[in-house]
Amino acid sequence: LTNKSLDDQRTEQEIPGVKLANPAVLPAPQKADANRGDYPELSPQKQPNPPHVRRGPSNLQIKAPRRDTRLKTRHSTVRAVEEPVQTDNEEKTEKSIISWRGAVIEPDQNTEPPSSKIKEPEKPSSVEAEDQKEPVPINERQLAVIEAFRHAWRGYKDFAWGHDELKPLSKSYSEWFGLGLTLIDALDTMWILGLKEEFEEARKWVANDLVFDKNVDVNLFESTIRILGGLLSTYHLSGDSLFLEKAKDIGNRLMPAFKTPSKIPYSDVNIGRGTAHPPRWTSDSTVAEVTSIQLEFRELSRLTGDEKFQKAVDEVMKHIHTLSGKNDGLVPMFINTNSGQFTHLGVYTLGARADSYYEYLLKQWIQGGKKENELLEDYMRAIEGVKKHLLQRSAPRKLTFVGELAHGHFSAKMDHLVCFLPGTLALGAHNGLDADHMKLAEALIETCYQMYAQVETGLSPEIVHFNLHAQKGQKDVEIKPADRHNLLRPETVESLFYMYRFTGDKKYQDWGWEILQNFNKYTRVPTGGYTSINNVQNPSNPEPRDKMESFFLGETLKYMFLLFSDDIDLINLDKYIFNTEAHPLPIWVPA
């Protein structure tokens, strides 16, 4: 389906919010010092004297929303589940899940490109007037998100403290890397939600217990987006140099991954031994993984003045820019670490293994001040490739969706992961790209919402197949038994946040509210925490899996809170860019 036919079938309308972004006004943060910054107070009743420490980058610090510390859970807005979520009598064998998120325009003249010689960070300038204005009051829906976060955090604190992930039903935990993933992923969420006590407690754990010098293999991509990204973001928001020191430590320990014949990094690194290797079964890396670590490593170079981090990840992007094997800007899912060539050619998806490649093309271009034209070219070409090869319409409701292409054959399969795309398209349009990107975003977010609304629990499965031909009594969305799980994923809520922020259309908030209520109804565990479920089609027994992914706190609830806010300065999108784990990093400006 070409974009023209899409346009023909929609009434022409002016797209709100499509304009060049305002110039970013973030100064470069200062280098770490021994003092840590303070954090916002939660309760307006009693403002304590500020601690006598030197603050970090002051105008990066988000003022806490004012509200009462004792949140009342009797709000009619919060639908908690009375009965405990039951596990199935029989143990179900869980299939292994890959944990994932996995037009030429003039650049802004007030920004400068990243140079090969990275400048020393400068001291922050004084706080701008706009950063000093009174915060917008918290509303009922945001209070419900805070209550949900606290409920999830209670489970983590009681049963999984310091471990990677909570198992809320068995009141235990699981380890992936053994690095407190959930805690680190949730740090900046707590800051944004204004949860002072919880933040301070987690900070103590980071200061006293987070040790990277251990003999453990970590996935380069996952540890970059969750741990490095989470630490950098928390440093920027809090000004507390502890988090930058930890970010430098993990950043250095991940560097051995880039010691490959092709400079395309290995997937796994032993952060204690300083060795890296591909997965046991292949010498390939996943394209999305090697191209979705750039925002974080580039920012680490900017903060430390050490160019090695940026150099390593920029080299990957430059190499992939020149590679053959693309299809109108669409990339295959795998790349060989020895040859540096794409492998498994002919298969193109915006789902797992390729998704965030496209997201990070746009976001790096924005992060660097819209100067790196190769990134923009690759992004624009890819979106044209999506329109040409992957867009189709379902029956009966004519929902626009993004399918997959395998050796010339179109498949009407769409991962929930693809629901990052409407938000990314909207962000591009906001930054001056084609207005038709916004129209496509509006069509796709409707589809992503229907992936929830057409399902019995009101929660989306991991993968859907769309019907292309109308048949009596048939919905647009079909779900195969192997695909009907829900992992508490953030992508649709993420895109709803961007769409509301750029259009002001309240329906996006209402859709997000429905999703939050359904999470509360079908995934909330009374003793604390939320759980992934195996069957979104069975409201009477959604078959809980006994696992709360770290991204539920790091991404899903954060985007919910921001979606329900009417304060555009709560993470202003002209000043911050979110990494693919919802950790906001500053858009660069000249020193």
Q: Supply the residues annotated as catalytic.
A: 222, 355, 462, 491
* E strand spans, 337-408: 342-343, 347-348, 391-393, 400-402, 404-406
C-alpha to C-alpha distances, 331 to 250, 379, 409, 470, nearest whole angstrom: 29, 11, 16, 32
Helix or strand (DSSP H, E) at 358: helix 355-367
Residue 91 neighbours by CB under 8 Å, 6+ apart: none
User: How large is the C-alpha radius of gyration of the chain?
Assistant: 23
Q: Where is the binding site, in residues?
A: 580
> CA 53 to CA 57: how far, in whole Å?
13
Q: How far apart are CA 547 and CA 93, in angstroms?
A: 14
User: Which residues contribute to the annotated binding site for Ca(2+)?
Assistant: 580
Tokens for 438, please give them. Answer: 């916004």
Q: Write b or e for each residue in 483-495: b if 16 or more Cβ atoms lie within 10 A of its Cβ, otherwise e.
A: bbbbbbbbbbbbb
Question: Rounded to whole angstroms, how far apart are CA atoms 452 and 461?
Answer: 8
Concatenating the DSSP letter of every residue in 217-272 gives EEEHHHHIIIIIHHHHHHHHHH--HHHHHHHHHHHHHHGGGG-STTSPPPSEEETT
Q: How many CB atoms lie within 10 A of CB 433?
A: 24
- Which residue in 295, 291, 261 sits closest to 276, CA to CA? 261
Phi, psi of 50 (to 5 degrees): -65, 145
CA distance to 2, 321, 350, per residue, from 329 (Å): 16, 9, 12
Please provide the distance, in angstroms rounded to a whole number, between the alpha carbons at the two ends of the chain: 45
